[in-house]
Amino acid sequence: MFDHTALLAFGAGHQLLSALVVRAHGEHGRRLFVPALCLARAIAHRPALGEHIGALPMIDVAELRYSGALAVGQLVKQGVDWQLAHAVVVGRPAPEWPEGRPVLTESPKAYAGLGVVTIDIG
């Protein structure tokens, strides 16, 4: 899963992330996830990124539904930035993803103690 820092790196041509997207495109059924609030933060910094991400069929934008909004709200109340909070909610273990979804990020320390696995792309 891409957080906002990974999206910005991807938009700037990060080779590993670009290769990951190409590989996902070549493997039927492979999906990459982007929390909607991470995408919103990345678009605020690089507006054209929204169209680019939207044109990639292997990327699923994870919506923020009611239960997710409640969870994000609790994290924000604890001092977690809103875009990180959405990545945490999507990345934590859940029935559909028992081991959680790893967060690709340039800022792994920002996720310390939040219950998600990170992969440092920096």
Q: In which band, very low, low, confident or very high, does the pLDDT at 5 lie, cut at 50, 70 and 90?
A: very high
The CATH number of the domain holding residue 66 is: 3.40.50
* Residue 27 confidence class, pLDDT cut points 50, 70, 90: confident
Report pLDDT for 26.
78
CA 85, CA 57: separation in Å to the nearest integer?
25
**Whole-angstrom distance, CA of residue 89 vs CA of residue 98:** 13
| pTM recorded for the entire structure | 0.92
Give the domain extent around 83.
4-120
For all residues of the chain together, what is the average pLDDT? 94
Confidence class of residue 29 from pLDDT cuts 50, 70 and 90? confident
Instruction: Give the strand pairing for 118-120 and 32-35.
Output: unpaired
| pLDDT for the residue 28 | 76
Number of domains in the chain: 1
